[in-house]
Structure 1
Amino acid sequence: MTTPGGEERVSDADVERVVWQYFRQKNYKHALEGLVKDAASLPFARLDEGEEAPETFIKNELAAVVHLTKWIANSLDLYKNELNTVTYPVFVHCYLDLLYRGYDEAAKQFMLDYHHHHRDLHDLELQQIMAVTSLEHMKTNDTVRMFRANKYKVHLCNYSWELLLGFVQEHKYNFLLRIINQHLSITFHTGKPSQRIDVGTIGHAVGSVDQLNSIKVYWGTYQVVEDPDEMEGEGMDTADDAGEGEGKSEAGGEQAAKKAKTGAGDKGKDKEGDRGKSKAAEDEDEDAEGEEGAKRRRQRKKQQDHPDAPPEEMRLKHPPIRGRMLQMRLEAMRDARRRAALSAKNLPSCCAYTFFNALKSVAITCISFSVDSKLIATGCADSSVRVWTLTKDKLMKLLPGTKLAGFDVTATSKLEDYLDPSTASAAKVMRGHSGPVTCVNFSPDNLFLISSSTDHTIRLWSLLTYTNVVCYRGHSYPVWHVEFSPLNLYFATASFDHTARLWSTDQVYTKRVFAGHLSDVNCVKFHPNCNYLATASTDKSCRLWDIQSGSCVRVFQGHRDTVHVLEFTHDGRFLASGGDDWDIMIWDLASGCRVKVLHGHSDVVYSLAFSQEDGVLASGGADNTVRVWDCEFLQSAAQATTTLHDAPDTLQPGDASPELAATYYTKATPVYAVHFGSTNYLLAAGVFVPNPDKH
């Protein structure tokens, strides 16, 4: 280009090309990384050759993308998988650039011709992007806004990056270089290129993720300290027994349950030793008086806390555990004495519940088991919530207030004394939502059920009167998931509005808002010590939030599609996640690294559950199976003295992980829920699909 004074002016593209070539020749890798980051601040793409005709520009731009795709396909297998992660974001941004400039027909044809190259790994996103056919659509589509507002992160070895850069410069594809500069965040690693078929992620810069994952997480569990003034005599003794026998409380304390993995002979010795210690502790308490005795009891329970448990001043406040909840813990403690330790050599028995005729008028959308495995609840598309009993005991409503007025409440009174036998039935139906119910969850004491719906509300139901007692409003979009805290007082919700929220049952407003995900939050899960909340999202990531501060302390990235389900180990150290990519991933909370990738499902993973001592993991999915995984690897990961790093995924598509211990097949029944009872029997539930097209 020539200036009015006759001097030749070098174009910006030429300057950029010379700088990149100089850095590459001098092997200034850090400078190259800095150049990539600085280029991100440039304005939206413009035509490199400003004088080009629109037809020529479209032809050259599309030819560059097609050429890049073919070049990678013909590359050495050693580098092909890594380089392939670049083609998808380039393809998407090329399509969006065409729409931005008004070339709607060319963009549509480009999408139709080449979208099949990316269907296997990005089918859901592509369907959403294909629905965008004009500039007006771009402004309202969440997926497009996510791509435009955030960088797509990919990992390349140094030589893969040099190959890519050399290809772009050799053919002078400034358009591709601009997309890489503006919309990709590339991290470099030394050594050999990764051989796994992977996808990039959108969101945090890599540096900020590393910074978050270095924050201290108090993942250990602790023993709930009952109020000694409220517990006297047998009540206090049984409360202590519950903590020691059951091996956990509603806030954790699963360490003692680990002892269940020893042999039968050792079990007997341990029981005798525990009884002796318990008796000696009781004698000490009886000799002590008043405040001194209470202090000793608190000190003894404090010694049971895990070293990585949160300090007492940082723990989530909750009312004392008593009444029905304490009674349920005692029952679980008695069951724990008969518990079988599970492993790959000692697999669980599985009982599956199948719902028939539940796809049309009723259309069950979600299923949940109660903590004690005595009840099961379903949410339906007709806005109803249904509760079923799994025992011979019928469900009965509380007596009317007029009859209750004549009863005298005594120390020996039981809840059953105030129930109306005339209302007994095997199931109850509750109505109140004005949209399909998306999730149901029982309270730890089985006195309440909570549900979420597409009507933007959460409802609390009494399981004594089987009526709606509270309606919580706060989300402005459908609520996808809801879960009670192990402490009973709190619950959390996940919503289409990209947030998760913390609530208290006694207040109708939100206690905390956890914002940071780039798309729908699909699932929430409380950590066993109740100080943290895990979330899973359509943005392919999982996060861990500090409930006290509301801040994000972990970001887990590695899934290739939407994440639907989360589950913590009972000791609080590890988190399992599953979703649309058919994989189950195990994450270490201490380091923020991925410990293991479990392959085996052939469709979406809907549900996860760890056995009581974390010996095995059960999963249910849309492939009509319940699968049991050996979790022996968790012990070595927990005992590792060196810093953990993300576990590689070297299996080929279709291969099952060696940790897959058993597969239980159902008859055309996708498994919506799996649950381990207190004695380690496995429950599963799903909806029968007659003449399925897919399953």
Structure 2
Amino acid sequence: MSDTPTYASLTPLAPAIPTIINGLSGVDMQPSQTVSHHAVMNNSEQVVNQVSMVNNGANGQCPSTAMSLTVLSPAAPATPSSLTSEVKSESAEPPSFERSNLIAVLQFLKKNNLKGTEDLLRRESGFFDEIEDSKSGYGLESETSTIFSTYKNEGDPTEYEETYLNLLNFIERSLDSYKHEVSQVLYPVFVHMYLELVYNGHENMAIAFLERFSPQQEDYYQEDILSLSLVTTRDHMSGYQIMDNFRGSQFNVRITREGHAHLKRYLSEAGGGPVQRIIQNRLCFDIYDGVPRTRSQIVSTAGALEGEASRQVNKTKIFYGLLKEPELQNLIIEEDEGEEEGDKPKKKKHKKDPLQKSKKNDPNAPPNNRIPLPELRDIDKLEKAKAIRDAMKRVTLSKDNLPSICFYTFLNSNASLTSVEFSDDSSLLAFGTSDSFVCIQSITPAKLKALKSVEQLNDIDKDADDVLVRMMDERSAEQTKQLLGHSGPVYSCSFSPDRTLLLTAGKDGTIRLWSLQTWTCLVVYKGHIFPVWDVKFCQLGYYFASGSHDRTARLWATDHHQPLRIFSGHFSDVDVVQFHPNCNYIASGSSDRSIRLWDIQNGNCVRILTGHKGLINVLIFSPCGRYLSSAGSDHRVLVWDLSNGSLVAELISHTNSIYCLSFSRDGNLLVSVVWINV
């Protein structure tokens, strides 16, 4: 890669080939193809369950993987060796989950006497093995037996309650210094004991076990236990998200060396049994030397589906500093002098640039060529110069000097709003609705205009100072513009930094790029196979990120129709994404109640942050780049130090779900917004 990267130097971030995504065959839909949206959604759980647990880290602690494969050009048709081996293995023998799905379909066709369709499917797939008639759920029983066979146990089912009760009593009798640490094993042991009882056919004992010991678990696990209570037979074990979470990874428990030794002594004295087996096989202990944590310290970082974040992954060095700003001071002085020439005011000493500190060599800042960044256009430089001038005039905010607030109300909305977004300069408002509309509203006196026709543009003097104004058609001026294209609710909108483009994402699984000059759709990005919950433009434009129901976050570029990076590791939906101010990292918040920070350069997960007890609705980085703030349905605002992945503040004052966070420009204030149903 060259020292001065441009749009063309994107080899390290080449689009991923979607035909192989962590072993799952993907389909790149063409305009001529049609798929029933209802059919896709009805099978969403089954497909997602197969995708979610494809990559687990060492000991199951950090299941994080990003996939990026260089696009093959005609000049370089050779397939990378890593891809070749993967393709060969798939062509030789289809994955087990594809085989089981094929068998299930063939059983359905055979049961309904659809002989012609069955023969056609066999010829197309090359599968001619004899299959048995489906007795229960079109092969789900055999599939469940294979996937969850690790739960098979022929031991005495009556000892489960007794051994778990003994574990509870042991923890209760332990010293306070050990009690809170050791109690972290109660929930994962409880879940796996229940699942073993269910898998081995002891349904009544499993229900009794659940009813007796579920009140002993922490409040923030009760919602998961409610979902677990729906799994009462072996057939139910296939298709539930919570089952995949516990089957696909080990529950991570952070504990001191003394606390771990205390637990080992008990297990040795207990003499085996289901508790010892589950702790050895299903739990991963992150052992450290130091003082045992208090209950409040443990609770503050607990609650994620996979347990606490591993300390090892949070030791990775990251560049949280800001990029070096371009030299714009001369441009600012020239513009200021131009404004002063008219009235000839007295010469004033220019204020020191408040952003000057970011121009110094920051040891925590990434090199400007670490990833390919778009070159600044003249209009971008003018925007940055304007931002610096505004910063010079900005009043420092504090608790004694709070900002003003503007409220906007939507009246006579025919459908419920599903997303709202302001442009960075607060001049434009975009919102999406549940009936697939996207609307752009000007909230300043300036109206929204479209470009003139090509013939009219050819007649414009391109050297005129007001050429940009002349390019716009005054007859098209409106206060509101409406964009149509999505086929379902629009869940997210995002403006480009120069306010000429708009990204939207929705239930139809697509991301659309709109021009705010021609008011047309430029590109439809089809990579996610399920609803896309969030989309965000990078602060420098060009790149954007998305999060979806398919449990992945993805990095895109506006001039590529395929993703550049696929970030896989979350155990549930990726509900929110956010770019770091230096554009080198992407944060993702998930329904698995964890936050992950991804390195754009190599696709690795470099931070895992746990502590939320509910869905994560919003993420925001501080202007300095060191801190990340998150909030969600647990009514709490958490502030994280990205330098080491530690929780530095927990703000508890709200009584409703938090849907919006925003730092002031100087980073002194943090604003949170809750939903109040009035």
Is the pair's TM-score, using the shorter chain for normalization, greater than 0.5?
Answer: yes
Partners of 1:356 and 1:523 in 2: how far apart? 27
**Cα displacement (A) at 1:168:** 5.6
- Residues 306 and 36 of structure 1: CA distance in aligned 2, closer, same or farther (over 3 Å): closer
Q: Does the 8 A contact of 2:528 with 2:548 survive in 1?
A: yes
Shift of residue 105 of structure 1?
4.3
Match of 1:602 among 632, 639, 655: 655
The 3-state SS of whatever aligns with 2:315 is coil
Q: How does 1:78-157 map to 2 (within 5 A)?
A: 81-112=180-211, 114-118=213-217, 120-157=219-256
Q: Which residue of 2 aligns with 1:310?
A: 366
Tell me, in whole angstroms, the C-alpha distance in 1 between the residues paired with 2:332 and 2:563. 32
Question: Offset of 1:493 from its aligned partner?
Answer: 0.9
Q: Provide the C-alpha distance between the structure 2 equivalents of 1:242 and 1:212, rounded to a whole number of angstroms.
A: 48
* Contact persistence 1:239–1:326 (CA under 8 A): no
Q: CA, structure 1 residues 190+183, in 2 after alignment: closer, same or farther (shift >3 Å)? A: same
Instruction: Give CA-to-partner distance per residue, 1:304-325, whole Å, 9 cap, x none.
Output: 34232212432432122322x3
Structure 1 pair 419/311, CA: closer, same or farther in 2 (3 Å)?
Answer: closer
Instruction: Give, in whole Å, the separation in 1 of the partners of 2:633 and 2:183.
Output: 21
- Report the equivalent of 1:387: 440
Give the partner amino acid of 1:216.
Answer: K
The verdict on how the C-alpha distance between 1:388 and 1:112 changes in structure 2, with shifts beyond 3 A counting, is farther
Alignment of 1:81-480 (within 5 A): 81-112=180-211, 114-118=213-217, 120-157=219-256, 161=260, 174-188=273-287, 190-196=290-296, 198=299, 199=302, 201-203=304-306, 209-225=310-326, 237-238=330-331, 272=350, 274=352, 304-323=360-379, 325-356=380-411, 361-480=414-533
C-alpha separation in 2, matches of 1:459 and 1:310: 31
SS at structure 2 position matched to 1:62 = helix
Deviations 1:221-279 (A, max 9, x none): 123447xxxxxxxx983268899xxxxxxxxxxxxxxxxxxxxxxxxx9964649x99x
Post-superposition Cα deviations, 1:437-483, rounded to whole Å, max 9, x if no partner, equal 11111110011110111211100111123221110011122211110
TM-aligned CA deviation for residue 79 of structure 1? 5.6
Q: Which residue of 1 aligns with 2:107?
A: none
Distance 1:241 1:310 in 2: 30
Asked whether the equivalents of residues 565 and 607 of structure 1 are also in contact (C-alpha less than 8 Å), the reply is yes
- Give the conservation status (yes or no) of the 8 Å contact 1:222–1:304: no
Amino acid at match of 2:331: T
Counterpart residue identity of residue 250, structure 2: K
Aligned equivalent of 1:557: 610
Q: 1:523 to 1:204 in 2, by over 3 A?
A: same
Contact 2:492 2:505 in 1 (8 A): yes
Partners of 2:333 and 2:582 in 1: CA distance: 18
- Tell me if structure 2 keeps the 8 A contact 1:574–1:589: yes
Task: State the match for 1:621 in structure 2.
Answer: 674
CA distance in 1 between counterparts of 2:420 and 2:543 reads: 21
TM-score by length of 2: 0.69
Equivalent pair of 2:424/2:497 in contact (CA under 8 Å): yes
Query: Which ranges in structure 1 are unaligned for 5 or more consecutive residues?
Result: 1-34, 227-234, 244-268, 279-299, 623-667, 669-688, 691-695
- Contact 1:474 1:510 (8 Å CA) reproduced: yes
- Paired with 2:245 and 2:180, the residues of 1 have a C-alpha distance of 24
CA distance in 1, matches of 2:549, 2:330: 46
**Secondary structure of the structure 2 residue equivalent to 1:155:** strand
Deviation digits for residues 339-373 of structure 1 (CA, Å, limit 9, x no counterpart): 11112332222223333565xx4111222111111
Displacement of 1:418 after TM fit?
A: 3.2
- Distance in 2, matches of 1:592 and 1:375, equals 35
Query: Unaligned 5+ residue runs, structure 2?
Result: 1-58, 62-147, 337-346
Q: In 2, are the aligned partners of 1:129 and 1:143 still within 8 Å (CA)?
A: yes
Residue matched to 1:536: 589
Matched, 1:44 2:122: no
Shift of 1:100: 1.2
Pairing 1:520–2:573 present:
yes
- Distance (whole Å) between structure 2 residues aligned to residue 142 and residue 527 of structure 1: 30
Q: What SS is found at the alignment partner of 2:311?
A: helix
Structure 1 pair 160–45 and aligned structure 2 pair: CA distance change class (3 A): same
Contact kept? 1:379, 1:439, Cα under 8 Å: yes
Contact 2:495 2:537 in 1 (8 A): yes
Task: State how many pairs are aligned.
Answer: 520
Contact between 1:122 and 1:561, CA under 8 Å: does it hold in 2? no
Task: Please state whether the residue corresponding to 2:575 is helix, strand or coil.
Answer: strand
Counterpart code for 2:525: Y
For residues 170 and 270 of structure 1, what CA distance do their matches in structure 2 show?
82
**Alignment correspondent of 2:84:** none
Query: Partner amino acid for 2:367?
Result: P
8 A Cα contact 1:570 1:614, kept in partner: yes
Contact 2:153–2:200, Cα closer than 8 Å, also in 1 = no
TM-score by length of 1: 0.67
Question: Which residue identity does 1:214 align to in structure 2?
Answer: K
Please give the alpha-carbon distance, in whole angstroms, between the structure 2 residues aligned to 1:145 and 1:175. Answer: 21
Change (3 A) 1:161 1:388: same
Taking every aligned residue pair, what percent have the same amino acid on both sides? 35
Contact map agreement 1:64 1:173 (CA 8 A) in 2: no
1:603 is paired with a residue whose SS is coil
- Once residues 271 and 540 of structure 1 are traced to their aligned partners in structure 2, the CA distance between those partners, rounded to angstroms, is 51
**CA deviation after TM superposition for structure 1 residue 507, in Å:** 1.8
Instruction: State the shift of 1:192 in Å.
Output: 4.2
